[in-house]
Homo-oligomer: A and B are copies of this chain.
Amino acid sequence: MVLDCLSDPIRLAIVYQLAQQERVSSELCCGDFSGLAGKSNLAYHFAKLRECGLMLTRVAGTNRFMRLRREDLDTRFPGLLDAVINSASKDADRLQLLSECEVTAAG
């Protein structure tokens, strides 16, 4: 289920970053998450996120670009994604969701 998928901190971080990227309407590729885990571990989490319908992948050359399935999610689970992302952003500092992939100052 979707909640099970979002309950993992790495997957939550992935979804959170994809949600941030939505604003710029650009996509992220696997390598952009390399701060969160190793390659194979990320592939595992990506698969889970795809399975439960949270995101989709567009293949372009050797890159895979991903984005949230925002519309489908908002239809099936109204308000859920926003509530989760909202809550995650409040805990972002505490959970170090950002520290590895977005913040470059604290290192």
Contact = CB atoms under 8 A, between A and B. Distances in A.
Interface in A62-78: 76-78
Interface string A1-15: 111101101001000
A86 B1 CA distance: 15
Consensus secondary structure, chain A interface:
helix
B76 A80 contact: no
A79 B84 CA distance: 9
Category for how many chain A residues contact B: 10 to 19
Pairs of residues from A and B, 9 with the lowest C-beta to C-beta distance, nearest first: A4-B7, A79-B83, A80-B83, A77-B87, A3-B7, A7-B7, A83-B83, A3-B6, A79-B79
A82 interface: yes
